[in-house]
């Protein structure tokens, strides 16, 4: 529970909002994801692929690594490499303040990593009817990690798959 505390708080906040708005029980939701923003682009990552959400912890820089690898943080006894996702994708971050930036912790098979994003908005729920197998344009920096989109309330939520990022050889090999 400790490692999933923030996600649990987001889930409880969403449940409270659902009850307050009368949404509870009106629909069966098939998919839940963590909504975040990076470089002005709203994305949603599958809830099952994000282990935890953190504020940026203190970290130690490392020599001879790519500039997008910020360093290593000790999170409850585990070493967490921190990646500036905007720098990795060669896009400009829309937030320069570490106070608003968050870390999406990915614990996928052998990859334990933290993705620094501009903002995290919470958990969003979708039905399977809201899913479209439409990808981002091929020139988008997010395209290799995209798996369709959800359309809801006249807004598109593109799906960002951390598991696809964890398979990218450029991401795995951060040495210079």
Helices (H) and strands (E) in the chain, counts: 4, 11
Mention the CATH class of domain 2-172: mainly beta
> Residue 117's Cα: distance from chain center in Å?
7
pLDDT at 1 over 50: no
The whole-number pLDDT of residue 26 equals 47
pLDDT at 23 over 60: no
The whole-number pLDDT of residue 10 equals 77
The whole-number pLDDT of residue 7 equals 75
pLDDT at 108 over 90: no
pLDDT at 166 over 50: yes
> Residue 151's Cα: distance from chain center in Å?
18
pTM: 0.84
Integer CA distances (angstroms), 139 to 65, 88, 142, in order:
26, 15, 9
What are the sequence ranges of the domains in the chain?
2-172
């Amino acid at each position: 529970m400790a490692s999933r505390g923030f996600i649990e708080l987001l889930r409880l906040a969403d449940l409270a909002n659902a009850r307050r708005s009368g949404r509870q029980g009106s629909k069966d939701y098939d998919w839940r994801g963590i909504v975040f923003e990076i470089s002005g682009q709203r994305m949603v990552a599958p809830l099952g692929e994000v282990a935890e959400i953190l504020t940026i912890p203190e970290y130690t820089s490392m020599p001879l690594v790519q500039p997008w690898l910020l360093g290593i943080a000790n999170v409850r006894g585990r070493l967490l490499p921190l990646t500036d996702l905007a720098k990795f994708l060669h896009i400009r971050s829309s937030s320069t303040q570490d106070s608003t930036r968050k870390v999406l912790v990915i614990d996928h098979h052998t990859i334990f990593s933290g993705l620094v994003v501009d903002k995290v908005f919470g958990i969003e729920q979708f039905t399977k009817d809201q899913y479209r197998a439409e990808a981002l344009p091929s020139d988008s920096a997010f395209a290799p990690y995209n798996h369709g989109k959800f359309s809801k309330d006249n807004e598109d939520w593109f799906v960002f798959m951390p598991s696809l990022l964890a398979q990218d050889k450029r991401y795995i090999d951060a040495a210079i």
